[in-house]
């Protein structure tokens, strides 16, 4: 094995080159999302994300991501209506959720309940456009209901039913908070969903595509992606950002915190991205949304801590191309909306299911099962010995 430039490792016998984390290795072709990490540009199906977040709804964006074109008024009405009709989840899923430990993480509850949908809907016609449409509608419709249901169940309450007169985002906030949300809060939440809906071949989407490539059902595809999103290096970072801001406490302590983190080689949560060398364009919009919320509903002092940390990080980490990512300001927005901290990542999943399903559909359109190779680093052929002759090995 010989290390080459850029962290690559070349296997001498086979000549294969391994790039840790598959950095810079294309693993698929896709027409869904494009990122220019040098300029900080992000587009879905050719539309800049800021334009979509300003002018479209989350369901309109979902339609675009999955079917490739923005819907016309009739298509959007039909899609919204179908989603609205499928928001309810079976009492059997709710009963199953009542058996989950109430102190379990809501991402684990979501992964299990998303997977359970596969028990209810057959996967026989995986390549049938109607099956694909129905699965998309069900998953987009039911994931928010399941997130809200677990929140009430773990508080010892019965989940409340979706309200047909409320649009997608307003209905989720209603099911979660048990009161009709302010229209500005609903609109800002909807924009957050648009910003989180898709981001090319990130870890959870890669996971979704690998799972999809086996031709399993879309509920397993989404469940595998939810499990991947949960990790602190991916979607779980939004929760950790607030824990970090809590730990810093006040804005005047941000620079010292950063110095200590860098000195001890600790990652600063909500900073850095494999694709971006500038501030994540979604962080720019989320910061503006946070300010809009503070102007309307009152300031949050944690925002001062975040801004002080960003300023200090610009000096220390900026030269390395490390800037705030999507998770840095999203938690502050969700906190102001009244969303509990451990639901930040499930909320990310509500949005990202749109991207996962777009990739599921694209993968099915030109499928070949993923089966990469590896560079074997273990022992060469060894002599087997009978149980009674074996000595304790150094590793046990
Ligand atoms: N704080 C301090 N140093 C950092 C950070 C950070 N957040 N991110 C990267 N670095 C440094 C890292 O120490 C390394 O330095 P050196 O070359 O001196 O050893 C260099 O930058 C490259 O880091 P890496 O971990 O190899 O980069 P990566 O592309 O493998 O990882 C990342 C990307 C997002 C996992 C990483 O930046 C990170 O762990 N960030 C903190 C967690 C986080 O905010 N995750 C959310 C990611 S965005 C949304 C999402 O995907 O869900």
**pLDDT single digits (tens) 20-34:** 999 989 999 999 999
Using the mean position of ligand 1's atoms as its centre, give its distance from the Cα of residue 39 in Å. Answer: 19
- Percentage with pLDDT > 90 across the chain: 91
Give Cβ neighbours of residue 287 (< 8 Å, ≥ 6 apart). 324, 329
Domain that holds residue 300: 237-336
Catalytic entry in 327, 342, 359, 389: 327
> Per-residue pLDDT averaged across 352-379, rounded?
96
SS (H, E, C) 276-315: CCCCCHHHHHHHHHHHHHHHHHCCCHHHHHHHHHHHHHHH
- For ligand 1, whether the C-beta of 24 sits within 6 Å is no
Rounded to whole angstroms, how far apart are CA atoms 314 and 323? 7
39 band by pLDDT with thresholds 50, 70 and 90: very high
Residue 135 and residue 218 in contact, taking contact as beta carbons nearer than 8 Å: yes
Token pair for 124 = 């026989």
121 and 268 in a single domain? The answer is no
- For ligand 1, whether the C-beta of 163 sits within 6 Å is no
Catalytic entry in 240, 273, 280, 359: 273
163 and 207 in a single domain? The answer is yes
120 and 243 in a single domain? The answer is no
Rounded to whole angstroms, how far apart are CA atoms 297 and 286? 16
Rounded to whole angstroms, how far apart are CA atoms 162 and 87? 7
112 and 246 in a single domain? The answer is no
Atom 47 (ligand 1) nearest CA: 234
- For ligand 1, whether the C-beta of 21 sits within 6 Å is yes
> Per-residue pLDDT averaged across 171-192, rounded?
97
Residue 170 lies in a domain: yes
Per-residue pLDDT, 14:
82
Residue 277 lies in a domain: yes
Rounded to whole angstroms, how far apart are CA atoms 18 and 3? 9
Per-residue pLDDT, 8:
84
Rounded (5°) CA angle 194-200-205? 95
pLDDT digits (tens, 9 = 90+) for 242-301: 999 999 999 999 999 999 999 999 999 999 999 999 999 999 999 999 999 999 999 999
| Residue 396 confidence (pLDDT) above 60 | no
Weakest mean pLDDT among 125-134, 155-164, 209-218: 125-134
83 and 164 in a single domain? The answer is yes
Count of alpha carbons within 13 Å of 370, Cβ hemisphere only? 14
81 and 215 in a single domain? The answer is yes
164 and 140 in a single domain? The answer is yes
Using the mean position of ligand 1's atoms as its centre, give its distance from the Cα of residue 264 in Å. Answer: 14
Atom 24 (ligand 1) nearest CA: 274
Phi-psi region of 307 (alpha: psi -120 to 50; beta: other; left: phi over 0): alpha
| Residue owning tokens 């220390």 | 316
111 and 209 in a single domain? The answer is yes
Shortest-distance atom of ligand 1 to CA 23: 29
Phi, psi of 217, deg, nearest 5 = -80, 160
- For ligand 1, whether the C-beta of 233 sits within 6 Å is yes
Most distant CA pair in the chain, distance: 76
> Is 273 one of the catalytic residues?
yes
Shortest-distance atom of ligand 1 to CA 21: 30
pLDDT digits (tens, 9 = 90+) for 73-89: 999 999 999 999 999 99
Rounded (5°) CA angle 241-37-278? 55
Atom 4 (ligand 1) nearest CA: 267
Phi-psi region of 241 (alpha: psi -120 to 50; beta: other; left: phi over 0): alpha
Residue 389 lies in a domain: no
Residue 74 lies in a domain: yes
Residue 301 lies in a domain: yes
Per-residue pLDDT, 4:
61
Higher pLDDT, 171 or 9: 171
Residue 319 lies in a domain: yes
Per-residue pLDDT, 352:
98
Using the mean position of ligand 1's atoms as its centre, give its distance from the Cα of residue 318 in Å. Answer: 12
Pairing outcome for strands 33-36 and 41-44: antiparallel
- For ligand 1, whether the C-beta of 206 sits within 6 Å is no
- For ligand 1, whether the C-beta of 319 sits within 6 Å is no
- For ligand 1, whether the C-beta of 270 sits within 6 Å is yes
Instruction: Work out the burial of residue 165: count CB atoms within 10 Å of its CB; fewer than 13 is exposed, 13-18 middle, 19 or more buried.
Output: exposed
Query: What share of residues in the chain are helix, strand, coil (percent, to 5)?
Result: 60, 5, 35
Residue count of the chain: 396
Residue 279 and residue 323 in contact, taking contact as beta carbons nearer than 8 Å: yes
Instruction: Measure Cα distances from 250 to 174, 254, 300, 341 in Å.
Output: 33, 7, 12, 19
Shortest-distance atom of ligand 1 to CA 320: 21
> Per-residue pLDDT averaged across 132-150, rounded?
97
Per-residue pLDDT, 16:
86
Per-residue pLDDT, 69:
98
Count of alpha carbons within 13 Å of 92, Cβ hemisphere only? 5
Q: CATH number for the domain including 331?
A: 1.10.230.10
Rounded to whole angstroms, how far apart are CA atoms 327 and 316? 19
> Is 105 one of the catalytic residues?
no
| Coil, helix or strand at residue 170 | helix
Q: Mean pLDDT for the chain?
A: 95
Q: What's the pTM? A: 0.95
- For ligand 1, whether the C-beta of 201 sits within 6 Å is no
- For ligand 1, whether the C-beta of 326 sits within 6 Å is yes
Shortest-distance atom of ligand 1 to CA 328: 44
Q: Which residues pair with 17 in a beta bridge?
A: 10
Query: Based on the structure, what is the number of domains in the chain?
Result: 2
């Amino acid at each position: 094995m010989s290390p080459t430039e850029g962290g690559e490792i070349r296997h001498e016998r086979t000549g294969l080159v391994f790039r840790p984390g598959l950095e810079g290795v294309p693993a698929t072709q896709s027409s869904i999302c494009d990122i220019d990490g040098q300029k900080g540009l992000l587009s879905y199906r050719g539309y800049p994300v800021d334009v979509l977040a300003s002018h479209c709804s989350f369901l309109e964006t979902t339609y675009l991501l999955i079917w490739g074109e923005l819907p016309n008024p009739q298509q959007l009405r039909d899609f919204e209506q179908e989603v609205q009709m499928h928001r309810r989840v079976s009492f059997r899923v709710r009963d199953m959720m009542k058996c989950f430990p109430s102190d379990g993480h809501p991402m684990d509850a979501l992964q299990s309940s998303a997977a359970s949908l596969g028990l209810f809907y057959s996967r026989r016609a995986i390549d049938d456009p109607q099956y694909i449409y129905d699965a998309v509608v069900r998953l987009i419709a039911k994931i928010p209901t399941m997130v809200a249901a677990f929140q009430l169940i773990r508080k010892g309450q019965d989940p409340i039913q979706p309200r047909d007169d409320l649009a997608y985002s307003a209905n989720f906030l209603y099911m979660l908070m048990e009161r009709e949300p302010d229209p500005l809060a609903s609109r800002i939440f909807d924009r957050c969903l648009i910003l989180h809906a898709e981001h090319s071949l990130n870890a959870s989407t890669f996971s979704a595509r690998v799972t999809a490539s086996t031709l399993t059902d879309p509920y397993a595809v989404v469940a595998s992606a939810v499990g991947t999103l949960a990790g602190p290096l991916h979607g779980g970072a939004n929760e950790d950002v607030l824990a970090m801001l809590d730990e810093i406490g006040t804005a005047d302590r941000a620079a010292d915190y950063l110095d200590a983190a860098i000195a001890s080689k600790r990652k600063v949560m909500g900073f850095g991205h494999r694709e971006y060398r500038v501030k994540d364009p979604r962080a720019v919009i989320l910061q503006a949304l946070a300010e809009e919320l503070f102007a309307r509903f009152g300031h949050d002092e944690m925002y001062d801590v975040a801004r002080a940390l960003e300023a200090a990080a610009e000096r220390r980490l900026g030269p390395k191309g490390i800037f705030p990512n999507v998770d840095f300001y999203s938690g502050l927005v969700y906190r102001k909306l009244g969303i509990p901290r451990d639901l930040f990542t499930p909320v990310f999943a509500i949005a990202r299911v749109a991207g996962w399903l777009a990739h599921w559909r694209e993968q099915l359109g030109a499928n070949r099962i993923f089966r990469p190779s590896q560079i074997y680093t273990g022992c060469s052929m060894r002599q087997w010995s009978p149980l009674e002759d074996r000595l304790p090995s150094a590793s046990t």
